[in-house]
């Protein structure tokens, strides 16, 4: 992973239990080579405090390998075009990239899709042919491309409506679904 990448690569592989789906990569994440790389992003603190993992992971490419190999958690985005923020995304971006995500899900067959935010879930569903979806957090009452769906608040610091404790509780609830 180098700073000259055009986008953030997918972190996927055999034995994928969960495919975490962000909206799109940040410029910071692309430069760092892994998702949620901005130091104020609450993903890593929430993950480490949750029951999704049983060890503290130091944010980085090595932690991504641990998540994939030990926990079966992979990462991708609905839109692969990096931007400074999601406000720069357009419907055409979702239209272009949603079929790519659908193909990734079909190819890797995760049991769960874990959407980070309603924008990611709704953008994917609208442009992958699944139509409109309800707006509730947690396990969704539908399956997309063979995978159950779960949505948690986006951990971005721009999403100040939810505290670190709130996000951690949502991650724990996802861990409960995975254990069931």
Per-residue pLDDT of the chain (180 residues; tens, 9 = 90+): 334 448 999 999 988 999 999 999 999 999 999 999 988 899 999 999 999 999 999 999 999 999 999 999 999 999 999 987 778 899 999 999 999 999 999 999 999 999 999 999 999 998 887 777 777 899 999 999 999 999 999 999 888 899 999 999 999 999 999 998
Residues in the chain: 180
∠ CA(143), CA(154), CA(129), 5° rounding? 35
φ/ψ of residue 87, rounded to 5: -65, -20
Torsion of CA 90, 113, 107, 83, to 10 degrees: 30
Question: Is the whole model's pTM more than 0.85, yes or no?
Answer: yes
φ/ψ of residue 40, rounded to 5: -90, -5
Identify the pLDDT of residue 146.
94
CB of 19 closer than 8 Å to CB of 68:
no
Buried b (16+ CB within 10 A) or exposed e, 137-169: bebbeeebbebbbbbbbbbbeebeebeeebbbb
Identify the pLDDT of residue 4.
42
Ranges of beta strands (E only) in 10-163 are: 18-22, 73-77, 112-116, 138-144, 147-152
Identify the pLDDT of residue 133.
77
The CATH-assigned architecture of domain 18-179 is 3-Layer(aba) Sandwich (3.40)
């Amino acid at each position: 992973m180098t700073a000259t990448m055009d986008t953030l690569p997918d972190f996927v592989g055999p034995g994928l239990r969960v495919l975490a789906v962000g909206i799109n990569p940040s410029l910071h994440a692309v430069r760092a080579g892994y998702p949620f790389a901005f130091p104020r992003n609450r993903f890593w603190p929430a993950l480490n405090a949750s029951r999704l993992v049983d060890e503290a992971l130091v944010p980085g490419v090595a932690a991504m390998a641990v998540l994939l190999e030990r926990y079966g958690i992979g990462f991708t985005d609905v839109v692969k075009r990096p931007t400074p923020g999601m406000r720069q995304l357009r419907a055409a971006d979702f239209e272009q990239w949603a079929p790519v995500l659908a193909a990734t899900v079909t190819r890797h067959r995760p049991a769960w899709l874990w959407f980070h935010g309603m924008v990611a879930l709704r953008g994917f569903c609208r442009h992958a042919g699944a139509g409109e979806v309800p707006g509730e957090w947690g396990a969704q009452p539908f399956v997309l491309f063979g995978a159950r769906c779960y949505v948690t608040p986006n951990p971005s610091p721009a999403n100040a409506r939810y505290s670190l404790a709130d996000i951690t509780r949502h991650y724990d609830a996802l861990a409960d679904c995975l254990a069931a």
